[in-house]
């Protein structure tokens, strides 16, 4: 039996890489200093794994920005617009690399960045490879060889991790017509062969090919590509040992293909899909080893040794110890680094957790316990583990009978408004009296350095609660006044009191815990610190009523209450694994419902429940979509359905394509939905038009992700496009998303123009 790790977090346990990259980009440190930070992180990571006793330690899992971009540079998939960056004589390979990741605006050049998108169903984002017809590839970077050599110097014969050829192509995007990305297999294969030859010459024995697409829905041409690629690689390298790593889903219908590939070891994700073990054991051929991904690489819970051992034993009986590998389910990139830094977390909760460093140890302990259970020196660990797991089953910190009973008592009625939309619409119009093309914003106004400083000072005790409150009130009042002045119809309070749209709610809900240092890479140097939902969720007190009520008291116009929806709170947190996600989501939905009802009681007549993450929660396999959508939509409806017909419920979504889920979006039955639309020139609206979406819609008329101020004319144009497909009386006018990342000057100009555009458009009627 052997242990291995698919990949280790590379941001550094104190986010050293983030800081060094940002300093390098700002010109505050030189290349050599950045490289030193990178090398130190690599050797720290290797040491952690070596000291823990891991048998196969990865290299090339480190990255200065993104592992897919690394691969693009290695195989020379560098779009031609960056060639000039490479030619500038002071630019290093890393400067070219960062230009691809972030764009390049200096030396008289102005080059856009490559596109970025989500890495499967994680919150990590990768840089999308760009493919062209007949594209040629060429080994272009030494990064992987340098890292292998670095590990060797540290006394480790590392296992290089490469994104498998087929997955690499499938991750990319065709940038011109007339070909399919899989047509490029033959062009890119020689480069993979060259990489492996060099690694072999350096002394590599193992290669890990990450092929997550083997666990997804793939077409026949991809299946053929898998067979072709791996038989060719095998032919060229009969002695190298290949691990093909799948994760985030089960192999399911691709199982026959996966076990037929000429690899030495197949890695499967038993955290996400434990059910596949039996099937895999049935069909695994005699010459194939099996890597059991038993330690969850994506979540922060301590492994349940007893459960993992039952899987390992089952595999042992069938395959014998020689062929078994024990590993985390996926790369540990998606876990925070080290639990030991968490000195503030309740010790009882801490005892249920494991971050990357702890997970490495779990893998080793599992191997020991599985190989010599009797004499194992780790028996004490086992006993402690059993205790930790069993306290989670009964702890009063987690389990709240009232919450469970309330959730169990939810009936269909709880997710239904009193009447259907046409009736509600009339009631709302009577109360709200809004004009045609009502204008509004998505919620947040600029979170200036000043506002963030107040919060920082308040947290450090340098501002009293009263002082902080007074400053926020001033800012809110000023924002209300300003919206009135420029003639916005439905005002917002500005969200100045919020740090983050999930954290703000998590901090006020029971069942949530927060880490001090639980950072996880989101993209490049950007890290997020997701809250931990450890227990039954409920809302002890109102969360937003104070600020909404204050804002409403400052004006005679309507102020929209602003909440984050249950699916988004779930999606952007580490979620408990001792009950279905749908159940946790329902508990959050009930807590938000309480808040919605209290806002209504406080006189707030328009309430927005943001659900930007509903689409990203979609399961990776299409056959699982409807089950997810059913509970996700129901959760939204539970949160929204406790109010009177005359209270108008809004929702907001961004970064979404709606075509394939439009029916479910309509099922959410929000009175108004605002969506991101301007970057696609209203194209996203077509899904709503084709579906004859019955409720009201605010397609964003300007892109808030850029500092650029749009003209009134541009927005009128977009509004016209919107009216081509959606009846005018259904339309709202608003920006694409919240304005918290923008500056006031651009925000002011853009919103003044937006209001003018709406006024002008309504003159036509």
Task: Using alpha carbons only, give the angle 334, 195, 236 rounded to the nearest 5 degrees.
Answer: 115
CA distance 417 to 419: 6
Grouping H, G, I as helix, E, B as strand and the rest as coil, residue 649 is strand
**499 annotated binding-site participant:** no
Residue nearest ligand GLN, CB atom distance: 738
- Supply the DSSP string of 393-460, one letter for each residue: HH-TTT--HHHHHHHHT--GGGGS-SS-HHHHHHHHHHHH---SS-BB--SB----HHHHHHHHHHHH
Site for ligand GLN contains 610 (CB under 6 A): yes
Stretch that binds Zn ion, among 263-271, 331-339, 653-661, 700-708 (CB under 5 A): 653-661
Rg for the chain (alpha carbons), in Å?
A: 27
Grouping H, G, I as helix, E, B as strand and the rest as coil, residue 108 is coil
Site for ligand GLN contains 497 (CB under 6 A): no
**442 annotated binding-site participant:** yes
Neighbouring residues of 573: CB distance < 8 A, sequence distance ≥ 6: 502, 506, 512, 530, 531, 532, 533
Closer residue to ligand GLN (CB): 463 or 654: 654
Contact 254, 218 (CB under 8 A): yes
Contact 416, 641 (CB under 8 A): yes
Closer residue to ligand GLN (CB): 605 or 740: 740
> Mask: binding to ligand GLN, 557-586, rule CB under 6 A, as x and -?
-----x------------------------
Structure tokens at 15: 């986010």
610 binds, among ligand GLN, Zn ion, none (CB under 5 to 8 A by kind): ligand GLN
CA distance 161 to 328: 15
Q: How many CB atoms lie within 10 A of CB 218?
A: 18
Nearest distance, CB of residue 617 and Zn ion, angstroms: 15
267 binds, among Zn ion, ligand GLN, none (CB under 5 to 8 A by kind): none
What is the footprint of ligand GLN within residues 170-209 (CB under 6 A)? none
CA distance 489 to 483: 8
Nearest distance, CB of residue 369 and Zn ion, angstroms: 47
Site for ligand GLN contains 650 (CB under 6 A): no
Among 353, 654, 670, 673, binds ligand GLN (CB under 6 A): 654
What is the footprint of ligand GLN within residues 499-518 (CB under 6 A)? 501
**15 annotated binding-site participant:** yes
Stretch that binds ligand GLN, among 34-42, 87-95, 332-340, 735-743 (CB under 6 A): 735-743
**123 annotated binding-site participant:** yes
Stretch that binds ligand GLN, among 230-238, 312-320, 717-725, 737-745 (CB under 6 A): 737-745
Site for Zn ion contains 654 (CB under 5 A): yes
Stretch that binds Zn ion, among 38-46, 169-177, 187-195, 651-659 (CB under 5 A): 651-659
Residues marked as catalytic: 705
Site for ligand GLN contains 740 (CB under 6 A): yes
Neighbouring residues of 180: CB distance < 8 A, sequence distance ≥ 6: 174, 221
Closer residue to ligand GLN (CB): 444 or 525: 444
CA distance 352 to 371: 25
**676 annotated binding-site participant:** yes
Closer residue to ligand GLN (CB): 417 or 652: 652
| End-to-end C-alpha distance for the chain, whole angstroms | 76
**118 annotated binding-site participant:** yes
Neighbouring residues of 635: CB distance < 8 A, sequence distance ≥ 6: 565, 566, 567, 582, 585, 586, 588, 589
Inter-CA distances, 390 with 25, 359, 402, 489, Å: 48, 19, 21, 55
The H-assigned helical ranges of 320-355 are 347-350
**337 annotated binding-site participant:** no
What is the footprint of Zn ion within residues 68-107 (CB under 5 A)? none
Neighbouring residues of 72: CB distance < 8 A, sequence distance ≥ 6: 78, 100, 127, 129
What is the sign of the dihedral through the CA atoms of 298, 303, 304 and 310?
A: positive
CA distance 85 to 98: 10
501 binds, among ligand GLN, Zn ion, none (CB under 5 to 8 A by kind): ligand GLN
Q: What is the dihedral of CA 114, 705, 691, 765, to 10 degrees?
A: -140
Site for Zn ion contains 737 (CB under 5 A): yes
Nearest distance, CB of residue 445 and Zn ion, angstroms: 14
Site for ligand GLN contains 615 (CB under 6 A): no
Neighbouring residues of 694: CB distance < 8 A, sequence distance ≥ 6: 421, 666
Among 272, 650, 652, 742, binds ligand GLN (CB under 6 A): 652
Site for ligand GLN contains 357 (CB under 6 A): no
> Mask: binding to ligand GLN, 412-451, rule CB under 6 A, as x and -?
------------------------------xxx-------
Nearest distance, CB of residue 612 and ligand GLN, angstroms: 4
Closer residue to ligand GLN (CB): 299 or 444: 444
Site for Zn ion contains 606 (CB under 5 A): no
Site for ligand GLN contains 738 (CB under 6 A): yes
Burial class (CB within 10 angstroms; exposed 0-12, middle 13-18, buried 19+) of 193: middle
Among 20, 737, 756, 757, binds ligand GLN (CB under 6 A): 737
210 binds, among ligand GLN, Zn ion, none (CB under 5 to 8 A by kind): none
Nearest distance, CB of residue 668 and ligand GLN, angstroms: 15
**495 annotated binding-site participant:** yes
Inter-CA distances, 223 with 230, 252, 293, 413, Å: 11, 14, 23, 47
**Closest to 522 measured CA to CA, from 14, 40, 65, 25:** 65
Inter-CA distances, 445 with 492, 497, 667, 740, Å: 9, 11, 30, 5
Site for ligand GLN contains 606 (CB under 6 A): no
74 binds, among ligand GLN, Zn ion, none (CB under 5 to 8 A by kind): none
Contact 140, 78 (CB under 8 A): yes
Size of site (CB under 6 A) for ligand GLN: 13
Contact 228, 245 (CB under 8 A): no
Among 328, 612, 698, 735, binds ligand GLN (CB under 6 A): 612
444 binds, among Zn ion, ligand GLN, none (CB under 5 to 8 A by kind): ligand GLN
**721 annotated binding-site participant:** no
Q: In what order do the strands lie in the sheet with 574-575?
A: 510-513, 532-538, 574-575
Structure tokens at 372: 């010599």
Burial class (CB within 10 angstroms; exposed 0-12, middle 13-18, buried 19+) of 121: middle
740 binds, among Zn ion, ligand GLN, none (CB under 5 to 8 A by kind): ligand GLN
434 binds, among Zn ion, ligand GLN, none (CB under 5 to 8 A by kind): none
Residues annotated as binding site for L-homocysteine?
Answer: 442-444, 495, 610
Residues annotated as binding site?
Answer: 15-18, 118, 123, 442-444, 495, 526-527, 572, 610, 616, 652, 654, 667, 676, 737
Residues annotated as binding site for Zn(2+)?
Answer: 652, 654, 667, 676, 737
Enumerate binding residues for ligand GLN (CB under 6 A): 442-444, 495, 501, 562, 610, 612, 652, 654, 737-738, 740
Residues annotated as binding site for L-methionine?
Answer: 442-444, 495, 610
Enumerate binding residues for Zn ion (CB under 5 A): 612, 654, 737
């Amino acid at each position: 039996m052997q242990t291995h790790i698919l990949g280790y977090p590379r941001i550094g346990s104190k986010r050293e890489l983030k800081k060094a990259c940002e300093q390098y980009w700002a010109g505050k440190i030189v290349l050599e200093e950045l490289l030193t930070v990178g090398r130190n992180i690599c050797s720290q990571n290797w040491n952690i794994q070596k000291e823990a006793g891991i048998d196969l330690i990865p290299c090339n899992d480190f990255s200065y920005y993104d592992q897919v971009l690394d691969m693009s540079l290695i195989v020379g998939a560098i779009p031609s617009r960056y060639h000039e960056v490479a030619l500038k004589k002071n630019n290093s390979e890393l400067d070219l690399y960062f230009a691809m990741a972030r764009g390049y605006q200096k030396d008289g050049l102005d080059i856009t960045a490559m596109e970025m998108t989500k890495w499967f169903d994680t919150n990590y984002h990768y840089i999308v490879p760009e493919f062209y017809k007949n594209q040629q590839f060429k080994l272009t970077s030494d990064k992987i060889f340098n890292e292998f050599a670095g590990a060797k110097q540290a006394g480790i014969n590392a296992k290089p991790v490469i994104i498998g050829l087929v997955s690499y192509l499938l991750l990319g995007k065709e940038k011109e017509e007339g070909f399919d990305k899989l047509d490029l297999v033959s062009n890119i294969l020689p480069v993979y062969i060259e990489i492996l030859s060099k690694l072999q010459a350096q002394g590599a024995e193992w290669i890990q090919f990450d092929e997550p697409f083997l666990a997804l829905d793939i077409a026949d041409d991809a299946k053929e590509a898998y067979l072709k690629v791996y038989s060719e690689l095998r032919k060229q390298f009969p002695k190298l040992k290949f691990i093909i790593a799948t994760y985030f889903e089960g192999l399911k219908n691709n199982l026959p293909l996966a076990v037929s590939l000429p690899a030495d070891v197949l890695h499967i994700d038993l955290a996400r899909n434990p059910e596949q073990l039996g099937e895999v054991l049935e069909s695994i051929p005699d010459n194939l080893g099996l890597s059991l991904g038993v330690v969850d690489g994506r979540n922060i819970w301590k492994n349940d040794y007893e459960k993992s051992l039952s899987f390992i034993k089952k595999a042992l009986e069938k395959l014998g110890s020689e062929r078994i590998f024990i590993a985390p389910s996926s790369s540990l990139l998606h876990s925070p680094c080290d639990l030991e830094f968490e000195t503030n977390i309740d010790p009882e909760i801490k005892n249920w957790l494991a971050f990357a460093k702890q997970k490495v140890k779990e893998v080793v302990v599992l191997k020991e316990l599985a190989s010599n259970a009797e004499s194992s020196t780790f028996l004490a660990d086992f006993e402690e583990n059993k205790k930790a797991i069993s306290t989670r089953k009964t702890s009063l910190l987690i389990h709240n009978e009232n919450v469970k009973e309330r959730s169990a008592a939810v009936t269909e009625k709880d997710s239904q408004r009193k009447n259907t939309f046409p009736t509600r619409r009339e009631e709302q119009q009577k109360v709200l009296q809004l004009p045609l093309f009502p204008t509004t914003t998505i919620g947040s106004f600029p979170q200036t350095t000043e506002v963030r400083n107040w919060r920082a000072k308040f947290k450090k005790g340098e501002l009293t609660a009263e002082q902080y409150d007074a400053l926020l009130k001033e800012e809110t009042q000023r924002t209300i006044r300003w919206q009135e002045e420029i003639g916005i119809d439905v005002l917002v309070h500005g969200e100045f009191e919020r740090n983050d749209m999930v954290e703000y709610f998590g901090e006020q809900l029971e069942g949530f815990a927060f880490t001090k240092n639980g950072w996880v890479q989101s993209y490049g140097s950007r890290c997020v610190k997701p809250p931990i939902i450890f227990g039954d969720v409920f809302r002890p007190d109102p969360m937003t009523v104070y600020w909404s009520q204050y804002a409403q008291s400052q004006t005679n116009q309507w102020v929209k209450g602003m909440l984050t929806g249950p699916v988004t709170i779930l999606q952007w947190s580490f979620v408990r694994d001792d009950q279905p996600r749908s159940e946790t989501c329902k508990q959050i939905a009930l807590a938000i419902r309480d808040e919605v009802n209290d806002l209504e009681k406080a006189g707030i007549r328009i309430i927005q429940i943001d659900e930007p993450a509903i689409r990203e929660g979609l399961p990776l396999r299409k056959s699982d979509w409807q089950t997810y959508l059913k509970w996700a939509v129901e959760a939204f409806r539970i949160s929204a359905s406790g109010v009177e017909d005359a209270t108008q419920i809004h929702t907001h979504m961004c970064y979404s394509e709606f075509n394939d889920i439009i029916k479910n979006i309509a099922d959410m039955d929000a009175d108004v939905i605002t969506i991101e639309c301007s970057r696609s020139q209203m194209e996203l609206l077509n899904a709503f038009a084709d579906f004859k979406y019955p409720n009201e819609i605010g397609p964003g008329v300007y892109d808030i992700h850029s500092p650029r101020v749009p003209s009134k004319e541009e927005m009128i144009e977009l509004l016209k496009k919107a009216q081509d497909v959606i009846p005018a009386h259904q339309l709202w006018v608003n920006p694409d998303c919240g304005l918290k990342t923008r500056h006031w000057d651009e925000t002011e100009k853009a919103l003044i123009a937006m209001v003018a555009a709406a006024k002008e458009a309504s003159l036509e009627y």
